[in-house]
A and B are shown apart, each in its own frame.
Chain A
Amino acid sequence: MRARLPRIGLYATLIAVLVIAAFPFWWMLDESLKQPVDIFSGVTLYPHHPTLTNYSQLFNSYHFGAYLENSILIVTMTVAISLVLGTLAAYSLARFNLRFGLNQSSLVVALLVRMIPGILLVIPLYLMLAKWGLLNTRIGLVIIYTGINTSFVIWMMQSFLAEIPRDIEEAAMVDGDSRLSALRRVVLPLAAPGLAATAIFSVIATYNDFLIALSLTSTPAAQTVPVGVSTLIGKIQIQIGPMAAAGVIGALPIVIFALIVQRHFVRGLTLGAVK
């Protein structure tokens, strides 16, 4: 009986924390499904007259179709390219003793990219892209995001690949595989959980980025979902419903993604710090 009471306290605390973590999401979903008249009639736990008008308004008059398209294209291209570049580099770092202290210094630069506050990068990047005529283009964003993501991929994949014994790929090479086909056929399948975690981190970091997209784009031709969400801010006093709906749309792809990849999710979130 004495052990019972602390148990109850433990679960009560956990439930309270869970409510604090989840309530804002539920409340925003609730607001987004309300009709304009109901929004001002006080806090409710669910929408009494649910409607999708806020959402249709987003797509019809606030370009959310374009934002979503940009985000999905940019995230897909960025993650695909940086996974290839970063994994090849990580393999090279994990398997070979390179000259000029490249093994150490590459990792330090990769970590540096992770550490530099985004605002430090944005002004030089803006001036660079302006010079190359790539401001407000999807391709400009893909280039920048690929560079940033490659640093995560190198950092994480290097440690995952180092854990895989060399003997396995050497056996494959004796059987006639080249280095690269041994990497593709033998090593990568073994590193699949690490690759999944890396991909998850890259998808979330790229989709959620705001500052870089905000500074380097200016129209729905290249603006991403987070920037689209922020364009509604000026209209907050009159457009609460659409703003809540925009928040839901901004969050939804990541929540769905998180549910699909649940198994590797935790590892991915902490940049490999948690294995």
Chain B
Amino acid sequence: MAQATVKRRRVRAARAQLPGGPYLLLVPALVALALVSLYPLYYGIRASVTHYLYGRDFGSAGLENYRRVYHDPYFHQAMWTTGKYVLVVVTCETVLGLGLALLVSREIRFASPIRVGLILPMTIAPVVVGVMWRLMYDSGIGVTDPLFQAFGFKAPEVLASNTSAFIGVCIVDIWEWTPLIFLIVLAGLQSLPQEPLEAARVDGAGRVRLFFDHTLPLLAPVLLVAIVLRTIDAIGTFDQIYVLTGGGPGVSTQLISIYAYNTAFLFSQYGLAAAMLISLLAMVMLLMIAAVRLMKRVAV
């Protein structure tokens, strides 16, 4: 009897804590989040209007860093290269990922091991992927040159010339990240309502008609999420390029992240690099807002 009272009192005590309780649970995590988002953002904006010399803080620079960045031909070049890169890889990954998901979503044998095999590339560290492909592209020991020669073509020496290096790094990205789009689209396909598709099939719609008139519109929201996710990640691509080409030959594969990294850590121009990245963030934000708008419209 006495024990029961104690228990009940404890329940009441636990309830009584609730007004402050939920906030106490949330605060440590929010501090951790702020530490890697809001604080660096503030710090980055401040660094972008600071004058650095040999890595030392030499006081306010006003908008000088931004002015220099906008007149820097290498910055323009890097933005252009990044845009091209994102467009090429996201387009290819979407088409391939969608195609693969459509193949695998049909009833096939060994679906589970096939799925694990297909997503292997995206689980491995991008640096390791970079090392792997750098060795495969190598003209002394690699795979690509003998492969081309076996079919009677000239050995391409992929990473040695501007165009082929750019195509080469794109292929690596496509190899690594098509699985992400594949996975998301596959999940989307499996959760599609079956009735409208059945009905259309009964009405005698062919496979192609069925896909474009029924499956694709139903799939659009999921596909869009996958594309937005991939686009944002692709804009920040760094690891594989750093390992594969370091931005070269020349500046042919110098994405904005590589250029900003070099500006900050090779030349200790933190202010300039911060100004580049804040500008980039503004653009990514605009892109995200547009994407959210678009998603809302498609979802309706």
Interface residues of A (CB under 8 A from B): 10-11, 13-14, 17-18, 20-22, 24-25, 27-28, 31, 39-40, 42-43, 82, 85-86, 88-89, 91-93, 95-96, 98, 102, 106, 109-110, 112-113, 115-128, 143-144, 146-148, 150-151, 153-154, 173-174, 176, 178-179, 204, 207-208, 210-211, 214-215, 225-227, 229-230, 232-233, 236, 240, 243-244, 246-247, 250-251, 254-255, 258, 262, 265-266, 269-270, 273-275
Contact = CB atoms under 8 A, between A and B. Distances in A.
B135 interface: yes
A247 B124 CA distance: 10
Contact of A179 (B18, B104, B125): B18
A211 B238 contact: yes
Interface stretch (B69-77, B196-204, B208-216, B256-264): B256-264
B238 A270 contact: no
Contacts of A116: 37, 281, 284
Contacts, number: 269
Nearest to B190: A274
Nearest to B185: A274
Given A96-B22, A176-B10, A40 B35 contact: no
Contacts of B140: 40
A86 B36 CA distance: 14
18 contacts: A11-B108, A27-B132, A40-B141, A85-B29, A89-B30, A92-B21, A92-B25, A113-B37, A115-B288, A118-B236, A120-B277, A123-B264, A150-B32, A208-B127, A211-B239, A250-B127, A250-B131, A254-B123
| Residue picked from B35, B41, B265, B288, most chain A C-beta under 10 Å | B35
A142 to B, nearest CB: 11
Interface of B: 7, 10-11, 13-14, 17-18, 21-23, 25-26, 28-30, 32-41, 43-44, 47, 100, 103-104, 106, 108, 114-128, 131-136, 138, 140-141, 143, 146, 175, 179-180, 183-184, 186-187, 225, 229, 232-233, 235-236, 238-239, 242-243, 256-257, 260-261, 264-265, 270, 273-274, 277, 280-281, 284, 288
Those 8 A-B pairs whose CB atoms lie nearest each other, nearest first: A117-B236, A147-B36, A89-B29, A124-B40, A274-B187, A124-B43, A208-B125, A96-B22
A153 to B, nearest CB: 8
A121 B131 CA distance: 24
Given A89-B30, A109-B33, A247-B131, 19 more contacts: A27-B136, A43-B143, A89-B26, A89-B29, A93-B26, A102-B26, A110-B33, A116-B284, A117-B284, A124-B274, A126-B264, A144-B36, A178-B11, A179-B18, A215-B265, A247-B135, A250-B127, A255-B124, A269-B180
B241 to A, nearest CB: 11
A209 to B, nearest CB: 8
A274 B183 contact: yes
B274 A173 contact: no
A93 B27 CA distance: 11
| Residue picked from B36, B186, B281, most chain A C-beta under 10 Å | B36
A98 B118 contact: no
B15 to A, nearest CB: 8
A4 B300 CA distance: 40
Given A40-B140, A270-B187, A13 B103 contact: yes
A243 B131 contact: yes
